[in-house]
Structure 1
């Protein structure tokens, strides 16, 4: 499928979906816990459904209802999967259930799509081996899945590189059920809000983790039990908020975003402050859970923005920077190169092809704005955040922009295109030679 995007404005009200990160943590913990859990407002597409399927592979009974999921917890007593687990395009599901597999006495094979089979996971595999499990990658010269894991996780002490917070969260979630206590030390800790999110959910399920509050040292007692809190409400996805927020900020738009939780632990809330620093006119009603964006005002550059804790914000913010007066530099990006794609390289290549002045090195990306975005045709490279960022660029372009391979947007933002169209975006979805 592809989408033709014409320069246009957004007017109206838009609600973003439930958080992918929260959904997957709820799915894992509800599966491991004693008791029944109701997950309200889950991301019922893409990565969220990947976590649901993975949980079912371990014998977890999950009923999908119109307003959420009903999960019958295992109390930590999982069944050995009867087949390979395919996590699709979900890196978080892959990492989390790799450690979950170490709680089962038997061999579990976990794989995913082509992108997952390129994403490194060896750091996590090595850590599981250090903690007493048996894990290995099926391709000796590759650091990525497929991965084979056998329990049981013993516990102990391990030090890992924390440039990918999924490794840290994965070990925390499973180590509470290890036979002995676990001491986890993290070097180069990045993406800390995601680790804090994991700790918060573990606490809600009755497990406390001793830590230094800087996400670098953790102590977990072994042999613990998760207990369902009953109701798990998934908040709106602040990572998804970035796209309509940027789209409205760089066009002559008036857009209201609703259903937001300003007390939530998601680090991507910081996008609001970054855009305000760039001059975007954004007001908030935290009690009502709304943001109001009034576009049409010039944005300003001149900022150096560290994205070490919020790597998913890069694609959207880079597009905003193309419409800002001056030089904007994004730093601490090495880990952004190992997401669904190398997002630093991908955004550089795509925006450069559209006439933007963008420069990169191994750890940073700089935009010389403002840029006149040309029309043409570009591919999303099957990366959901790149697909949505390019749509934002198309709304502010000089002429029509066609983006191919857009189905991936469903991974984190189902009905993204339809919701923008309902707010006035001039989009035309094309599939199998039929125009919708």
Structure 2
């Protein structure tokens, strides 16, 4: 029921005076998992039926634990597919306040229920058995706090959250910071191609957990310098990276590009905390293993870790993005330090999170060709 006005660099959202309305049609979330999980949870606060779906990748992503939690609070929440754990889903609220428990592997479930909890009368408690992707949970709390919502939570381990509702979201004027996951691709590209690059207008507030990639690459031997005065970084290639062990549980989106950096490193790199990464747009562990192996990489994986035996010379090959934007950009970076031509199928999917990626990279000499 909101009115959204989009101008260059500015989105203006005017909420309906009557609050959220039940949509007249199915909500198609496209390829956005965040939209899908958040909208599913919020739909549980409405007193009528809402149907949500998405593209073929969204229709494979698990939603069962979220639906179970919503049912525990009194909502009707089911998938339309027999013996399936995925969209399309049908939701009817309203949910009632109570206590729900999540295993902690999917932060988007928790964030979605936090957003919904502010609209539920009474105290809603969310218990988390073992929280991962914790920076995303903190970003959710910070965003809700900025909009006037009061939340009690375990600031150390994120083991519980409590929201007393209903509370009203207040309007704000805010700026969306630059995305550290997008920064990671040109950053790693510079380090593995003996190049030098300066990236400006960074968010150095520490609010994004993915900014830890700078520290990770430094541990691996990368020459990266942050400048707080100008909110920029400088990366210089030329140093051979070193293998290390990296816990990806809080930075799941970084695994594809970190696996590429690991191929360039001497020795073994072990990526741990990978369980939730198998249920993103793709099983990114399996996909990166498969596609980088086509280029000559030596990679093994178990349920809990991915091991990259670095130092192997990569050779250009025909590889597939699997319609996963982060996989496509990571393979493009891998192609920059490989012998021969690398051809990426469905490479245009990068537009999901980084429109203009190839053009921007070509602006600093990458030499990508698109069809």
Quick check: which one's strand share is greater? 1
TM-score using structure 2 length: 0.98
1:76 deviates by 7.6
Partner of 2:106: 164
Select 1:109's aligned residue among 29, 46, 51: 51
Select 1:179's aligned residue among 109, 113, 121: 121
Select 2:21's aligned residue among 79, 82, 89: 79
- In 1, Cα distance between equivalents of 2:183 and 2:159: 29
Partner of 2:130: 188
**Conserved in 2, the CA contact under 8 Å of 1:153 and 1:179?**
no
Select 2:181's aligned residue among 229, 239, 255: 239
1:410 aligns with 2:351: yes
- In 1, Cα distance between equivalents of 2:98 and 2:83: 28
**Conserved in 2, the CA contact under 8 Å of 1:334 and 1:363?**
yes
Select 1:315's aligned residue among 256, 265, 276: 256
1:371 aligns with 2:312: yes
1:427 deviates by 1.1
Superposed CA RMSD: 1.0
Where 2:183 maps in the other structure, the secondary structure is helix
- Total equivalences in the alignment: 370
1:75 deviates by 6.4
1:224 deviates by 1.0
Q: Which runs of 5+ in 2 are unaligned?
A: none
- In 2, Cα distance between equivalents of 1:312 and 1:265: 16
1:220 aligns with 2:160: no
Q: Which moved more, 1:258-267 or 1:313-322?
A: 258-267
Select 1:150's aligned residue among 65, 78, 92: 92
1:100 deviates by 1.4
- In 1, Cα distance between equivalents of 2:263 and 2:189: 12
**Conserved in 2, the CA contact under 8 Å of 1:235 and 1:264?**
no
Select 1:199's aligned residue among 123, 135, 141: 141
Considering Cα pairs closer than 8 Å and 6+ residues apart, tell me whether 1 or 2 has the greater RCO. Answer: 1
- CA deviations over 1:273-329 (Å, ceiling 9, x no partner): 00000011000112311011111211111x111111001000001100101111110
Q: Which moved more, 1:195-204 or 1:263-272?
A: 263-272
Partner of 1:95: 37
- In 1, Cα distance between equivalents of 2:314 and 2:94: 54
Partner of 1:271: 213
- In 2, Cα distance between equivalents of 1:177 and 1:350: 44
1:260 aligns with 2:202: yes
Partner of 2:153: 211
Partner of 2:278: 337
1:160 deviates by 1.2
- In 2, Cα distance between equivalents of 1:343 and 1:182: 34
- In 2, Cα distance between equivalents of 1:259 and 1:76: 39
- CA deviations over 1:65-90 (Å, ceiling 9, x no partner): 11211101246811110000000001
TM-score using structure 1 length: 0.84
- In 1, Cα distance between equivalents of 2:328 and 2:223: 25
Q: Which runs of 5+ in 1 are unaligned?
A: 1-58, 431-436
- CA deviations over 1:255-283 (Å, ceiling 9, x no partner): 11111111041110011100000011000
Structure 1 residues 65 and 372 mapped into 2: Cα distance closer, same or farther (>3 Å)?
A: same
- In 2, Cα distance between equivalents of 1:167 and 1:75: 28
Select 2:222's aligned residue among 280, 290, 297: 280
- In 1, Cα distance between equivalents of 2:18 and 2:33: 23
- In 2, Cα distance between equivalents of 1:153 and 1:287: 48
1:351 deviates by 0.9
